[in-house]
Structure 1
Amino acid sequence: MSADESSSTRWLTHEEQQAWRAYLRAHRELQVALERDLTAHDISLPEYELLSMLSEQDGDRARMSVLADLVVQSRSRVTHTAKRLETRGWVRREPTPEDGRGVALALTPAGRELVESAAPTHVQSVRDHFIDHLTHEQLCVLRDAFSEVRSHLVPGARPEDEIV
């Protein structure tokens, strides 16, 4: 690295570095804990998230592209996850009636049953490992901070309280 590159870089302060590393570690550990708690239902966290988002859509169905946006994953990753879920009988692919070219994913009765049985476990896990360790004020700060980060990363994105 040249002296010019070094002097133009805005290095993280000690406090910023601590905040960044605390976020990274907590995020990763939280993912591991949430994943572990779902093993009793024989489902991974990404699979549960996709089924959960699908269960909140009109008619328990949504275009694959909409699901990819909701779970913040690439369309190809959602397609792979959907394939696993379809093999297990929890979803089915359908042509979209709007244009016939797109593909929608629909929750099957077995998928609905799984979501409803896993949801209490997941919610308790979120409470046990995240929500119940923070004050109301801390949760509001986190919501506002990450809404700001998301607004920067996804200009024009709907606020979190409008996402369904």
Structure 2
Amino acid sequence: MASRSPLPVDPIAEARRQWIAHGWADAAEGVSVVTSIMRAHQLVLAEVDEALRPHGLSFARYEMLRLLAFTREGRMPMASATARLQVHAASVTNVVRRLEADGLLRREPHPHDGRAAMLELTDAGRRLTEDATATLNETVFSRVDLDADELTALVGAIARMRERAGDFRPPRPTPDPL
């Protein structure tokens, strides 16, 4: 992440200290975890926004394009995109409208469900997605300032939090081949 002028004291550590001083020691670690995650989110989102700005994309717009680019044919039902992006349908509709207006995707009637829509990536959308992905890989994703063990531990801890919160079900174990 980009370097900034560091604060003279860690406000999250200070909040933890204050929680303990005010008699809330049982919640002190929790406040540290929650505020640490929220601050890390702010820092990472700023990095991503900076990387995507030259491409004219927000992270929400990039996620939609990348999701479509990952499919075999560059298309999927809008309801599937909404479920996979884990955002409200109105947010997806807003993103889709903007991407459609920019010529980066098309919205078409679903071939089997008259109430549903299919989203399809345009050639311009595919080119922009690949360019933006290259930028993110180079400037953000490959430069997370943690070593391999720290990355693995962090992803594992957050995945456990998400799973316990009901965000996803773990995959079923598959039997070993005979």
Q: TM-score range by the shorter chain?
A: 0.7 to 0.9
**Aligned residue identity for 1:25:** R
Aligned to 1:152: 164
Q: What is the letter of the counterpart of residue 94 of structure 1?
A: E
The alpha-carbon deviation at position 110 of structure 1 amounts to 0.7
2:66 to 28, 39, 52: 52
Larger Rg: 2
CA deviation vs aligned residue, 1:91-114 (integer Å, no higher than 9, x gap): 000112232321111101110011
Question: What SS class does the counterpart of residue 27 from structure 2 fall into?
Answer: coil
**C-alpha distance in structure 1 between counterparts of 2:41 and 2:88, whole Å:** 20
> Structure 1 41/155 Cα, relative in aligned 2: closer, same or farther at 3 Å?
closer
State the number of aligned residues: 147
Name 1:12's counterpart in structure 2. Answer: 27
Aligned residue among 130, 143, 155 for 2:155 = 143
What SS does the corresponding residue of 1:121 show, helix, strand or coil?
helix
Q: 2: distance between equivalents of 1:53 and 1:21?
A: 29
> How many angstroms apart in 1 are the aligned matches of 2:130 and 2:168?
32
Q: What is the distance in 2 between the residues matched to 1:158 and 1:55?
A: 25
What is the correspondence of 1:41-120 to structure 2 with a 5 Å cutoff?
Answer: 41-120=55-134
Unpaired runs of 5+ residues, structure 1, are: 1-8, 160-164
Q: Among the aligned pairs, what percent are the same residue?
A: 29
Deviation at 1:138, TM superposition (A): 1.4
Is the partner of 2:169 in helix, strand or coil? coil
User: Any stretches of 5+ residues in structure 2 without a counterpart?
Assistant: 1-23, 172-178
In structure 1, how many angstroms separate the alpha carbons of the residues matched to 2:96 and 2:156?
Answer: 32
SS in 2 for 1:27: helix
Give the structure-1-normalised TM-score. Answer: 0.81
Secondary structure of the corresponding residue to residue 101 of structure 1: coil
Structure (1/2) with the larger helix percentage: 1
Length-normalised TM-score, structure 2: 0.75
Contact 2:105-2:120 within 8 A present in 1 as well? yes
Gap change, CA 1:27 and 1:74, over 3 Å in 2: same
